[in-house]
Each structure stands twice: as structure tokens, then as C-alpha cells.
A = this chain, B = another copy of it.
């Protein structure tokens, strides 16, 4: 007995929304004039409408709301699920706020934003493990394993990486990993293994390697602020680097000078995305 406009201002729901709810079968007028198509509503329908609105306000999807008002679904279960979803959203939201906090802080120091979480895939690699002193040159180790992989024609066109294992006393246990298309013979310190898939927080560094330590500290700060837990050794991925031409390294990853080096720090974390 009320036209759509009257019922709209009575209920605070726009006519468009009322028509939409009618169209999807969620909430129909008390009567529709078949001649004109005019919709007529009664104030007695308000309890039903408000129940729908209350659920929609909680962010329950309209399809689910329909299931509830039809009486088939269990309200308690739907609300519990919705609560879990909202709690997950809250966690993500807090993380974003923390990340913005760090970014604003860094931004004022002139540093650009650039830390990202993502998944990395598993990949087969040849691996060379060694204990080194801080400051040691790692180039001979890279050359050793790259030459071995080259000699067995197994180089996969992916970037090499350094995995920083534990620190034993003053010495560092490190591992150089080189992507391969198939296993290579295991001789000396060289073995084959699978580099696991995992979620990582990733920061990209451009330029020479002297800046890397600062970036590592930055990544640690970021993890602490966003509350993400590290779960494995840091991986340093060489995306643009230089090496002896005789090693026949995959061309896409070679750069001319220090200034154009690109290095990615990947800190494995508990799964996020």
C-alpha cells in the first residue's frame, strides 16, 4: 500500500536497491501491479527487510542472506564463519597499516617503498655449501659450481642465489645454489637438491653489494613491524650480476656495471597469501 518511494524513505533503503532485491528474489513487494509494474510495499514488511539489512551490514553475501531468510541455513554457523573471515581481514588490515607505517618512516628518509610478500616456486638446483669468514670473496665458489654445471650442460635459465645458513661462531655457513635442468654429478662440495617452495618477504636492491647490509636490516625491521615470522635462511638472488663469459651464464641475468646490478633479498616466512 506504499509506493516504492514512500517505502524507501520509511526504511532508508534506496528504490534502486529495493528493485534490485526484488530482481534477485531476496525481498519482494507485497504486491506488484501487473499492468503498470508498480511495486507496492507494506510497513508490515519492515521486520523482514531489516533482518536482511542487518545481515548485509555484517558483510554476509546476499546469496547467503537469501539462504538464511528462506530458513534453510543455520544463522549461527554463517555468523561464525563470517567472524573468522572478518578476523582474517583484520589481520591483513593491521599488516597493511604496519607496512604503511614503515613506508612513511622510510619515505621521509628518502627511501622508496618496495617490500612485497609472495610465493616462490620450488626448483631443482646444484648446491655448494661452505663455511666462510665475513668479508671473504665468494666469487671463486660461484665460479666453481657454475663451471661444473656448465660442463654438464645443465644450466637452467634462472638466477643463482646465495642461501645464508647459520652463523657458527664467527664463521658463516653459506650455500650457493645454481638452477639446473637436471642433476649434475656430485663431486666434492657439490650436491643436487630441491630448493623448497615457500612464502617470502622480498626486497629488491639495485646497485653494488655494499648497500646490501642496510637492506637486510630494513627487511628485518619490516618483518618485525608487520608481525611476520621468519621461518628459514635468507636467500640472496642475483637478478642482474656479472661473471666470466667463459661460464656461459644465462644472458638475461647479466649486467654491465655495479650500478645496474639487481639483487633480491628473500626472507622465507610463514604462509601469508
Contact = CB atoms under 8 A, between A and B. Distances in A.
Contacts of A57: 96, 99, 116-117
Interface in A89-121: 89-90, 93-94, 96-97, 99-101, 103-104, 107-108, 112-121
A252 to B, nearest CB: 4
Interface string A213-240: 0000000000000000000000000011
A32 interface: no
A114 B54 contact: yes
Interface stretch (A19-27, A77-85, A145-153): A77-85
State the number of copies, please: 2
B86 A97 contact: yes
A255 interface: yes
A131 interface: no
Interface string A19-58: 0000000000000000000000011101100110111011
B12 A115 contact: no
Nearest to A121: B9
Contact of A10 (B9, B58, B82, B158): B158
Interface residues of A, number: 66
Contacts of A243: none
Given A44-B262, A96-B86, A206-B47, A108 B58 contact: no
Contacts of A1: 251-252
Given A80-B104, A93-B93, A100-B82, A262 B119 contact: no
29 contacts: A6-B157, A9-B121, A12-B118, A43-B239, A43-B252, A44-B240, A44-B260, A44-B262, A46-B204, A46-B239, A47-B206, A47-B262, A50-B114, A50-B202, A54-B103, A54-B114, A54-B115, A54-B116, A57-B96, A57-B99, A58-B103, A79-B100, A79-B103, A79-B104, A82-B100, A83-B101, A86-B96, A86-B100, A90-B90
